[in-house]
Amino acid sequence: MSLFEELMSKLEIRDVNALLSHEQIIAKNLKKLKVGMLNIGHLVDPIVVDRETGVVLDGNHRKKVLEIIECPRAICQLVDYKNPEIKVGTWYPAAPYSKDDVDKLDSIKIEKVDRVAGLEAVDSLKAPFMLIEKDGSCSLLNPGKYKLMEMVEEQNYILSLLEKNAIDYIPLEETDNANEDGNSVFYRRSYTKDEIIKCAQSHNPFPPKSTRHIIPFRIIRLNMKLGWLYRDPEDAKKELSRMLKVRAYTGNVRKYYEPVVVIY
């Protein structure tokens, strides 16, 4: 199979209203993305979607922008979510809060804990977050016993209080750096694939940046023209095919087999 054929086998034009979101939107990120998309007139990266269920794995903000501008279709990279090579984790909120700062927030109870016990408590739905301060000390926030959606509601409430200050969302690999920069990290449990699918299908989205998907052969910088997505699906597919064929056969598509750093 040629590179062009491989790309086309993974891409599909789908109706936006058939895609299921599983995360809430960050308003400032949505505004910035909307401006960027309208300025360049492209959907830069395809929305990553589970082929079977239509659940959006990556691209919830892109989907929302398409809804706002009443664009009926999206270019999607379809994947098999059951593929064990697709991994799911989370992004961790990080902000300049100490235990004392959090203790002053409305209706927040704090329980000091050692790191191992705290991780186990959060992972077993006994607390929505564990605060990890820059000195390494750990505290559970609002410890208790939660069902999944009860924990989601509690996370939403706590995040709404934290958003009075700027929140960064960081991967696990950057948590130590966040502490070194003076930020505390709010550790939270990762969701399972089944939980993500059920959440999207029931239209009960998780808090923003709750999931971080590691997807092999992720297609980026496709740059699908928004105008094409207003056309009939077959016309849009023809334009996609024509564009990709030119780029693939002129050496403008490259597969990377190692981690890369992208500078925007």
Task: Look at residue 259 in the predicted model and tell me its pLDDT.
Answer: 75
Cα distance between residue 146 and residue 168, in whole Å: 26
Q: Residue 106 has what pLDDT?
A: 84
- 91-189 — its CATH code? 3.30.1760
CATH fold, domain 3-87+214-249, is: 3.90.1530
pLDDT of residue 253: 84
Class of residue 153 by CB neighbours under 10 A (exposed 0-12, middle 13-18, buried 19+)? middle
The pLDDT of residue 33: 96
| Alpha carbons 197 and 161: distance in angstroms, whole number | 28
pTM score of the predicted model:
0.90
* HSE value, Cβ hemisphere, 13 Å, CA-based, for 259: 2
Domain limits, the chain: 3-87+214-249, 91-189
Encode the chain (264 residues) as per-residue pLDDT tens digits: 788 899 999 999 999 999 999 999 999 999 999 999 999 999 999 999 999 999 999 999 999 999 999 999 999 999 999 999 999 999 999 999 888 888 888 889 999 999 999 999 999 999 999 999 989 999 999 999 999 999 999 999 999 888 766 789 999 999 888 888 889 999 999 999 999 999 999 999 999 999 999 999 999 999 999 999 999 999 999 999 999 999 988 878 877 777 777 776
pLDDT score, position 125: 97
